[in-house]
A and B are shown apart, each in its own frame.
Chain A
């Protein structure tokens, strides 16, 4: 259901203001969404003044600086810091992306940092992605080959292999799915761009023998056809992939077979 307003316990309040203590002249204001599960209070937005003269180039560096030097209670996910693991996906300046690959120089004015949109917040910038992982599991993202010779190598032509380009690179960071308004309103039923891109990846894999069943499984009013080509997903993808096109290809396959 479309619910424009946030529920009562999710309304964001004004938070603390952390003034700069270094005396630097190159200061930037960073507004960060905070929620502490033990406080029982509504979420708030804290503002930090950060000395940009001694800060590396990415938004993740800014967050690290805040955590190390200003406020150690700030929580966020991170791991590789090189755009490979997808842990630090968040909403920066109104757009989803990876904090480790987004340059703060590309953002004008104050930097607003929120968790990925329309998720249950666990703490601060950490959203609950369990629902998405369950949906990912539901498309059975593994090779299904029922041929007798299980030990034989399965050959794939270069051409068939190329079909997977633009689909296998997905790191499941959830930037696309949580940017999608359809997924906000129907996230319990609609699979969302990330999972559908993976469904597509297995449907077009020449080595997979379950193509028909896979297609039938996603051919559902709510699972697939809630995509209304808003293209927030393609605009959000930090790896430059195109989930919207993959969804369109699935629709096309269903219409032509």
Chain B
């Protein structure tokens, strides 16, 4: 009888809030960043094999999909950096109150987008 006991619903019913959302996104962006760094290493490796490869990468990065990837990676790095700063502060023992953690979580989310836009504008030499 005991072995037949069902497992009560968990992630299916549990409500999300700011810090759980930031936590899971940090994990996902972490994985994306590892893939992104691998990708960037491949780009550099290709460059060693001549100029035609450079043209190919340039073509790719200027396509819609390439731009999406580049901006996506920028956001993913921005989020990771900000979230890790939040984690460092938490490791010092601060920011565990519900209000503070919600606030710092919101800051991470909002500023990850702002940072992405800033990096984009800087990269395009608009500012």
Contacts and interface: CB of A to CB of B under 8 A. Distances in A.
Interface of A: 4, 6-7, 9-10, 12, 33, 35, 37, 40, 42-43, 91, 93-95, 112, 114-122, 127-128, 179, 181, 184, 228-232, 234-235, 242, 244-245, 248-249, 251-252
7 contacts: A118-B8, A121-B8, A229-B19, A229-B87, A232-B20, A242-B96, A244-B96
Contact of A229 (B2, B9, B14, B23): B23
B9 A6 contact: yes
B97 A242 contact: yes
A10 B7 contact: yes
A9 B14 contact: no
A230 B23 contact: yes
Mostly helix, strand, loop or mixed at chain B's interface? loop
Interface of B: 1-2, 4-15, 17, 19-20, 23, 87, 90-93, 96-98, 101
A38 B92 CA distance: 51
B5 A117 contact: no
Nearest to A237: B98
A92 to B, nearest CB: 10
A40 B4 contact: yes
A7 B17 CA distance: 26
Given A179-B14, A229-B87, A117 B9 contact: yes
Contacts of A94: 13-15
A118 B7 contact: yes
A244 B94 CA distance: 11
Contacts of A252: 91-93
A118 B10 contact: yes
Contacts of A232: 14, 17, 20
Contacts of B101: 231, 234
A242 B93 CA distance: 12
Contacts of B13: 91, 94, 112, 114, 117
Contacts of A43: 6
Nearest to B8: A115
A6 B87 contact: no
A219 to B, nearest CB: 15
Given A184-B11, A235-B17, A35 B96 contact: no
A42 B17 contact: no
Which 6 pairs, one residue from A and one from B, show the smallest C-beta to C-beta distance?
A: A94-B15, A10-B6, A117-B10, A245-B96, A118-B10, A231-B19
A112 B8 CA distance: 14
Residue among A40, A42, A116, A229 with max Cβ neighbours from chain B (10 Å): A229
Given A117-B8, A120-B8, 6 more contacts: A7-B7, A91-B13, A181-B10, A231-B98, A248-B96, A252-B92
A120 B10 contact: no
A242 B91 CA distance: 15
A234 B5 contact: no
Contacts of A118: 7-8, 10
Given A37-B5, A121-B7, A91 B96 contact: no
B47 to A, nearest CB: 37
Contacts of B97: 234, 242
Contact of B15 (A33, A42, A93, A181): A93
A127 B23 CA distance: 27
A245 B6 CA distance: 32
A228 B92 CA distance: 14
Contact of A184 (B10, B20, B98): B10
Contact of A33 (B9, B11, B17, B96): B9
Contact of B6 (A121, A184, A231, A242): A121
